[in-house]
Structure formats: C-alpha cells, structure tokens
Amino acid sequence: MTRTVVAGLAVATTLALVGCQQADPGAISATGRVVADALAVQAPALGVSGPMSLGAAQRVAAVEVRLGDPVKEGDVLLRFDDDVLAAHERVAAADVAVAKTQVDVIDAAIDTTREKEDDLRDKREDVTDGIAKAKTARADLVGKRDDARAAAAKLPKQLATVDRNLRDLSAKRSDAERQLAEVMATLDALPAETPAEQRAPLLDAEKKLTAGLKELGTGIAKLKAARGEITKAQAQLKKAIPQLTKGIATVDDKLADAREALKKIDKGVDKLTDARATLKRNRKLAVIAAADTTAVGTASTAREQSVVRAPSDGVVADIAHIGDVVAPGATVARIVRPALVVGTWLAPEQIHDVCVGAPAVVTLDSLAAPVEGRVSRILPVAEYPPSSHATDQVHLTRAVPVEVTVFSALPAGVPADIQLSSCQAKG
C-alpha cells in the first residue's frame, strides 16, 4: 500500500516557532492535512480476449457500488463481461464430458471387434462348408442380382417424377414470394392513418401467403429428401450389382475362392486383434482425460477473477462505469480507508526540535476534542512544498515533510492544526 498525501500544508511565511506552552516551551505549532490512506483496485488479467475484438481489454458489465458507499473486505465492487470466460468454462466442462463419453464409445468399439472376430470365425466355417453348397449360393446371388437390376430400372422414372414435382413446387413458391412481396409493399405504402378494416384484407393475405410459403418449403424439402434417397439408392445399386456379379464368379471358383476366402478371414482376425489392442491403449488415455479437471478449474478461477472485490474495509472514492473498457492493471476503483496519518511541513531549523516518537496533538474543526498522536516519520531532506498549497515566499523556501500518526481515525483530506512536542517531551 502506498500512502498519498491528498493536499500538502499551506505553509505560512514564518515556519519558525510560533508559540510556547507552559508544559513544553519548545513545542511547535503547525498546520497540515489528514493523509488519505487509499487503495487502488486494478483490473485483473483474465487471460482471454475481450468481447467485440477488444484484445486483452475488458468491458465493465455491472457496478455494484456507488461513490461514497462504505464497503467491507470482499464486497463485490464491479463485474467484467464474462461471456467469453463462461464459454471457456463450458468448453472445458464439455471436453471432460466428451472424454467420459469416449470411454464408453471405446468400450463399445472393443466389444464390436470381439463380435466381428466371432463372426469371421463363424464365416470361416461357413466358407469351408460353402464348397458343398456352391450351387445354392450361386442361385441366391443370381436372384439378388436380378432384383437389383429390376429395382435399378425403375429408379430413373421415379427420379424424373420427383424432379418434375420439384420444379412445379419451386415455381409456385416463386410466385407466392412475388405475391407476398407485393402485399407487403402495398402495406408499407399505406398511410399511417389508414383504417384497420382497410389493412385487414392485406394482412390476411400476407398471413395466408406466409403460411403457403411454409407449406411449399416443407414440400420442397420432402421432395429434395426423396430425390436424395433415390440418388443414394442408385449409387448403392450401381455398386451392388457388380459386387453380386463378382460374388457369383467367386462361388463358381469354389475351391480356389474358398482357399482365398480363408486367407482373408485369417487376415481380418489379425486386423481385429491389432485394432482391439489400439483401442485399449486409447481407452487408457481417455480415462486419464476424463479424470483431469484441471482445465475446468482453471476456467472457473478465471471467471471468478472477472468479479472485482474490495481488498479492504473503507469507502468508495472512485469507481469505473458500466461500459468502460479497461486494460489489465488499469485502476477501476479506489478505496479510502480510515485515515490515521496527518502530514505537515516544517522549516529545516525546526526539525532539530522534533523527533520520531514525540507526542503530538491534532485538532480538527469538525471534532469537538483534540486527538492525540505521535510523530511517526520525518523525511531526511528538505523539499519544496507543493506549489498549489504554498505562498510565493514559502514556495521559494525548502521545508521538511513530517507525518503524525494519531490513535483515532480521522476524515481524509481535511485541514488540521498540529501541536508538536519537542524531543525533550518525548514520552
């Protein structure tokens, strides 16, 4: 914490001894001001780019106090826009959730490899028996190929019908859009004082056209989906027919194909075994990622830092405004704590009569009784007093800053009369 003197003493032209009391003939009378004990509250570095391309600067979203409000340590002063931080927190949580889900996905994949391996082993037995059943298998493949060819022959006609209907609906939608634009233009052209009964038919037409456009859009979407299904079926059939033909040829090769199939099955089993080992390694990594909540904690901490709190008890002397954009480290608030220090200036020749620890009495116009204290600090060198608080003569005279610490809190920044006891009177 750094103390800053709100205002220096308006030193009189005579900084010499101005009076003596019976109790302490060497006492010095002076005037000064209560030092404001202020804390500057700085904007945190949130570690993310601010909204609206502000870079590291952040926007004040809410201010919870007003100037002059008393606050306790930890009270919320203001809040920065935390949308980006909240998004980071959600992303971090989502990453953990994805990692947890990934474990289940990998487990399912491992089970699938076992199932596929069992299937391959069953197929191996089937291939061995398939030599005897070659004729039956071939007849089945031929039948499927015939069915595929028949289905493929029907699809172009179906596709043409869908395309025709799609063109018709698209034309109707264009016409409806044109009519709706005309109705809306007519509505916009009507004077503001046009009676409601004259607007009603146009509004009704606008409503019907809007509903019609929605229905047309739904119909067009369905036709497009149907067209996609037909196109997909064509591609599948185009791929399936050669495969069936190849299957027939494979069955015809009987023994040669059977031996080749056995080799492929054995190779497939090996691949599934390797894939399962890879999945198990990936599962271990996924388990580690699912248990790691570091990113979530970091994101939550960053979001908490977007809430600026009072570092100490005191009174709000300055506060940022909603919408202010501030950089990290910039002052966003100032808290003035109860003042216990009074500052004054003494001529160099007077310093020899005053020492740290000497008693002092401080009098304020706003207090009914004086406040006791002690000299707590004497600067080692003389300086020019602040020009804003000095006369022409004093401004040309060096003086020594002196601080008095009192035993009761005083209002910051107010002028004070000070009675400094000499070193001989030090208690």
- Residue pair 395/322 in contact (Cβ under 8 Å)? The answer is no
CA neighbor of 385 nearest in space, from 360, 364, 406, 402 = 402
Tens digit of pLDDT per residue, the chain (427 long)? 333 333 333 333 223 333 333 456 678 888 888 887 788 898 887 765 555 444 568 889 899 999 888 999 999 999 888 777 777 778 878 777 887 788 888 889 999 999 998 998 888 888 788 767 777 888 888 898 899 989 889 889 988 999 999 999 899 999 989 998 998 888 888 888 888 888 888 889 889 989 998 998 899 999 899 889 989 998 998 888 898 888 888 878 777 878 888 888 989 999 999 999 998 898 888 888 777 777 777 777 778 888 999 998 888 888 999 999 999 889 999 888 877 899 998 988 888 889 999 999 999 998 899 999 999 999 988 888 776 445 343 455 788 999 999 988 888 778 999 999 988 654 5
Residue 174: its pLDDT value, please?
A: 92
3-state secondary structure of 106: helix
Between helix 294-305 and helix 83-130 the angle, nearest 10°, is: 160
- Specify the CATH architecture of the domain 28-82+311-425: Beta Barrel (2.40)
What stretch(es) of the chain map to CATH 2.40.30.170?
A: 28-82+311-425
Instruction: Please state, in angstroms and rounded to a whole number, the distance separating the CA atoms of residues 354 and 423.
Output: 5
Structural element, H or E, at residue 314? strand 314-319
- Give the separation between CA 155 and CA 116, rounded to whole angstroms: 34
Residue 204's H or E segment, with its range, is: helix 196-252
The whole-angstrom separation of Cα 371 and Cα 362 is 5
- The first and second tokens of residue 140, run together, are 């089945």
Quick one: pLDDT at residue 53?
A: 43
For 161, list phi and psi in degrees, rounded to 5: -60, -45
User: What's the pLDDT at 417?
Assistant: 94
Contacts of range 107-113, beta carbons closer than 8 Å, 24 or more positions apart:
107/283, 109/279, 110/276, 110/279, 110/280, 110/283, 113/272, 113/273, 113/275, 113/276, 113/279
Residue pair 365/357 in contact by the 8 Å Cβ criterion: no
Residue type, 388: S
Nearest to 184 by CA among 202, 172, 204, 211: 202
CB 33 within 8 A of CB 8: yes
CA distance linking residue 313 with residue 387, whole number of Å: 33
Spatial separation of the C-alpha atoms in residues 415 and 404, rounded to whole Å:
13
- What are the contacts of 151-159 at 24+ separation with CB within 8 A? 151/233, 151/237, 152/234, 152/237, 152/238, 152/241, 155/230, 155/233, 155/234, 155/237, 158/230, 159/227, 159/230, 159/231, 159/234
Stated pTM of the model: 0.39
Closest alpha carbon to 373 in 350, 356, 352, 385: 356
Q: How does DSSP assign 301-312, residue by residue?
A: HHHHHTEEE-SS
The Cα-based distances of 243 to 238, 247, 267 in angstroms read: 9, 6, 21
Q: Would you say domain 87-291 falls under CATH 1.10.287? A: yes
Reference 219, options 266, 165, 282, 145; nearest CA is 165
Question: At a CB cut-off of 8 Å and minimum separation 6, what does 252 contact?
Answer: 134, 138
Q: Which H or E run includes 407?
A: strand 400-410
